[in-house]
Structure 1
Amino acid sequence: MAITLEGAFTIPADKRIVWSGLNDPDVLRACIPGCHTLEKASDNEFFAIAKVKIGPMNTSIKGKVELRDVDAPNSCRLLGEGLGGIAGFAKGEADIRLTDVPEGTSVTYAVEANVGGKLAHLGGRFFDGMAKRMVDRFFARFVAVIAPDQSAA
């Protein structure tokens, strides 16, 4: 099943601080919902394990993300894949762009992914809503970590 997701968030911080946070395993571990481990294997590769509830399923997802076409601190392409055991798999890519705005930094994303296994049986509309909620939670946590004075405002 194919999934497409696009959006933008404004982070009240300088673009270089946002870029640094998006590449810091400690920051990412604190912000990714359900993340148990996240290791930076190289400058452009991360490995993670997250425990998540997806509809009626609780599953542990082991994943890998690789950064490509890196233009720091402006943009990159993420290639990722995750295996959730009997629940299924996900594989996809995302284009990430950071732009200076008066309020700080605008982070825009466009994701295209494929989901298979039992996860795919939950349906596209279910995944659209779930993915949007996870992205919203990630960015709320991200702001709280890198711009704590602004997250309470």
Structure 2
Amino acid sequence: MQMSDTREIKADPAEVYGALLDPDVLKACVPGTQELTGNPDDGYEATVVQKVGPVKATFKGTVTMSDLVENERLTIAGEGKGGAAGFAKGGASVTLSPGESGGTLLAYDVEAKVGGKLAQLGSRLIDGFAKKMADQFFANLQEQLEGPTEAPAAEEAGEDGGEKKGWLGRLTGRG
């Protein structure tokens, strides 16, 4: 499975590049990460729990960084074994360039492969899962750098302009 996408991040390329190399940021960005240790030079050891269709597995593996050009590009490669579930491996080539609004335009090309029971689930399910994981990783990275996105003020307030009440509060007149 291969896919490409771009994302505008409100942070300069040096911040984005640094975040991609930070183990704490990586742990927060990879969905299902239980543990991640290491550094960009030696690589990272990771434990990730994921459910793909009916198969739930704990993957133990490595993440390596290569093709490092400071503040411009890097390649992230990961490989994990999930016991009876099989294996997953993939990588992302990431390029950073100054964005039009002063932030960073992050472009990525992702490739993913699976084997074992996971491969038996069918390519449509696997491709959808791989796309969701890549999208979630880069969305989490963006949130780490920009902070959580705020809901529009109209959604925050109730119809009367006051605080929004939960369904139980509306029924009981409290809340």
Query: TM-score under structure 1 normalisation?
Result: 0.88
Return the match for 2:15 from 14, 17, 24: 17
Output one character per residue of 1:41-100: Cα deviation in whole Å (capped at 9) or x when no partner: 452511110111111011101121111121111112223211111111123333111111
* Percentage of pairs with the same residue: 41
* 1:32 matched residue in structure 2: 30
Query: In the TM superposition, what is the alpha-carbon distance from 1:109 to its structure 2 partner?
Result: 1.4
Mean alpha-carbon deviation: is it higher for 133-142 or for 60-69?
Answer: 133-142
Cα distance, 1:130 vs structure 2: 1.1
- Report the secondary structure of 1:63's partner residue: strand
Specify the structure having the higher radius of gyration (Cα). Answer: 2
1:60 to 53, 58, 61: 58
Partner secondary structure for residue 139 of structure 1: helix
Structure 2: distance between partners of 1:65 and 1:59: 18
Name the Cα RMSD after superposition.
1.8
Contact preservation (8 Å) 2:79, 2:88: yes
Partner Cα distance (1:152, 1:12) in 2: 14
Aligned equivalents of 2:39, 2:13: Cα separation in 1: 24
1:75 aligns with 2:70: no
Structure 1: give runs of 5+ residues left out of the alignment.
none
When normalised by structure 2's length, the TM-score is 0.78
Q: CA deviation at 1:9?
A: 1.6
Amino acid at match of 1:67: M
Gaps of 5+ in 2: 152-175
Q: Which runs of 4+ in 1 moved over 3 A?
A: none
User: Relative CO higher for 1 or 2, CA cutoff 8 Å, sep ≥ 6?
Assistant: 1
Contact 1:49 1:61 in 2 (8 A): yes
Partner of 1:50 in structure 2? 48
81 and 59 in structure 1: CA distance in 2 versus 1, 3 angstrom threshold:
same
Q: Which has the higher strand share?
A: 1
Hey, what's the Cα distance between the residues in 2 that align with 1:121 and 1:94? 24
**Deviation of the 1:114 alpha carbon:** 2.4
TM-fit CA distance, 1:33: 0.6
Residues in 1 aligned to 2:123 and 2:3: alpha-carbon distance in whole angstroms: 11
- Number of aligned pairs? 150
